Structure 1
Amino acid sequence: MEALNTIKCPKCGADIDVSDVLFHQIDEKNKLDYSQKLLEKENEFKVLQKQEKQKIEKELREQLQDENTELVKSLKSQLDEKSNQVKEFNKTKAELERITREKDELKEKIEAESELKLTQKLNEEKEKIQKDAEEKNQLKISEKEKIIDQLMVQLKEAQRKAEQGSVQLQGEVQELAIEEWLRTNFPLDTIEEIKKGARGADCIQIINTHVKQNCGSIYYESKRTKDFQQTWIEKFKLDMREKGALIGVLVTDVMPKEMDRMGQKNGIWICTFEEFKSLCFVLRESIVLLSSAVATQENKGDKMIMLYDYLTGNEFKMQVEAIVEGFIQMQNDLESEKRSIEGIWKKREKQIQKVLLNTNHMYNSIRGIAGTAIGPIKALELPEPNKDI
Structure 2
Amino acid sequence: MKSEPVAGVRPEVKRRAEQGSQQLQGEVQKLELENLLRTKFPFDAIEPVPKGEFGGDVLHRVVGAGGQSGGTILWEFNRTKNWSDAWLAKLRDDQRTAKAEIAVIVSQSLPKDVETFEMVEGVWVTHPRAALPVAMIFRLSLLEVALARQSTEGQQTKTEMVYQYLTGPRFRQRVEAIVEAFSTMQEDLDKERKAIMKQWAKREEQIERVMGATVGMYGDLQGIAGKPLQEIEGLSLQALDAPVVNNRSAAE
1:294 equivalenced with 2:114 (yes/no): no
Matched residues in 2 for 1:163 and 1:190: separation? 34
CA 302–249 in structure 1, closer or farther in 2 if over 3 Å, else same: same
CA 188–307 in structure 1, closer or farther in 2 if over 3 Å, else same: farther
Alignment of 1:315-334 (within 5 A): none
- Contact 1:193–1:202 (Cα < 8 Å) also in 2: yes
1:223 equivalenced with 2:78 (yes/no): yes
Given the alignment, which residue of 243, 259, 264 partners 2:98?
Answer: 243
Given the alignment, which residue of 8, 17, 30 partners 1:175?
Answer: 30
SS in 1 for 2:135: helix
Shift of 1:197: 6.7
CA 195–169 in structure 1, closer or farther in 2 if over 3 Å, else same: farther
Alignment of 1:48-197 (within 5 A): 148=5, 151-195=6-50
- Contact 1:294–1:304 (Cα < 8 Å) also in 2: no
Shift of 1:196: 5.8
- What corresponds to 1:206 in structure 2? 61
- What corresponds to 1:256 in structure 2? 111
Given the alignment, which residue of 146, 164, 167 partners 1:304?
Answer: 164
- What corresponds to 2:127 in structure 1? 272
Shift of 1:303: 6.2
Matched residues in 1 for 2:110 and 2:119: separation? 11
CA 255–245 in structure 1, closer or farther in 2 if over 3 Å, else same: same
TM-score by length of 1: 0.39
Alpha-carbon RMSD:
2.6
Q: Which runs of 5+ in 1 are unaligned?
A: 1-143, 313-389
CA 256–249 in structure 1, closer or farther in 2 if over 3 Å, else same: same
Which structure features the higher share of strand residues? Answer: 2
Identify which range, 197-206 or 225-234, moves more after superposition. Answer: 197-206
TM-score by length of 2: 0.58
Matched residues in 1 for 2:167 and 2:93: separation? 23
Shift of 1:272: 0.7
Matched residues in 1 for 2:44 and 2:146: separation? 14
Letter aligned with residue 164 of structure 2: M
Matched residues in 1 for 2:152 and 2:12: separation? 60
Letter aligned with residue 91 of structure 2: F
Q: Which runs of 5+ in 2 are unaligned?
A: 173-252
How many residues are matched?
A: 164
- Contact 1:297–1:303 (Cα < 8 Å) also in 2: no
CA 198–175 in structure 1, closer or farther in 2 if over 3 Å, else same: farther
CA 159–261 in structure 1, closer or farther in 2 if over 3 Å, else same: same
Deviations, residues 105-147 of structure 1 (Å, cap 9, x unaligned): xxxxxxxxxxxxxxxxxxxxxxxxxxxxxxxxxxxxxxx8xx6
Letter aligned with residue 76 of structure 2: E
